[in-house]
Amino acid sequence: MVGRDLAKEVTCEKPYHWTEKLWELDVGAQLIAPRQDAGRDKSRPYKVVAYDFGIKYNILRGLVSAGCDVTVVPAMTSASDVLAMNPDGIFLSNGPGDPEPVTYAIENIQKLLGKKPLFGICLGHQLLGLALGGKTYKLKFGHHGGNQPVMDMSTRKVEITSQNHNFAVDTDSLKGLAELSHVNLNDKTVEGMSVIGKPAFSVQYHPEASPGPHDSQYLFNRFVEMMKG
């Protein structure tokens, strides 16, 4: 696993538009009619481009339910192509494997930082850390399962989270570049960060997996608030 770029093996082949919201008990699956033109949908006013490094569909559902109009693009899509789509925000998805070999994504994120609000989950979180000039490392024991306690440092609230990763961001390598926003209460590893001076944040865990079950849903709304400016 170390040194292997697995994102390129699982990413989509071409861009696509996502139109499904989160499942609801009284409604079930909710499909939204696709746009008929390049304009904005009033029910989903925030245009988001989501990089697919191995994206989970429930993340896309969470973004749509938060008011985002989501277009998914392959992992290798250039920063210039993404910016040409004029999104309000850019999402960096989860994915498998070691983040360090995914050099094309790191370079693209560097070009996107400060241009548009960024939100990363899991591998996207690690890639953001590397794009800032930080370091990642392989955990002796990976974090796996749906009962991982994480504290939001801004509210001191504890979230029960779902996790499935073997690498982590080295917080010491990001001093002056990013602030610790979430911490793992089992081993004190970084679970989230906010970039200093730029509209970008990320978490290591999976808010869409609902282990809490809704402890971490606020993160999608936090991204929307960032896009509102």
Establish whether the linkage from the previous residue to 117 is cis, with ω within 30° of 0.
no
Establish whether the linkage from the previous residue to 99 is cis, with ω within 30° of 0.
no
The residue annotated as part of the active site, out of 100, 159, 191, 208, is 208
Q: Which residues contact 172 (CB under 8 A, 6 or more apart)?
A: none
12 has catalytic annotation: no
The residue annotated as part of the active site, out of 100, 122, 159, 191, is 122
| Rounded Cα gap, residues 28 and 82, in angstroms | 32
208 has catalytic annotation: yes
Amino acid identity, residue 19?
Answer: T
Q: Which residues contact 58 (CB under 8 A, 6 or more apart)?
A: 22, 208, 209
| Rounded Cα gap, residues 104 and 126, in angstroms | 14
Q: Which residues contact 221 (CB under 8 A, 6 or more apart)?
A: 66
The tokens for 58 are: 């429930």
122 has catalytic annotation: yes
Catalytic residue positions, numbered? 122, 206, 208
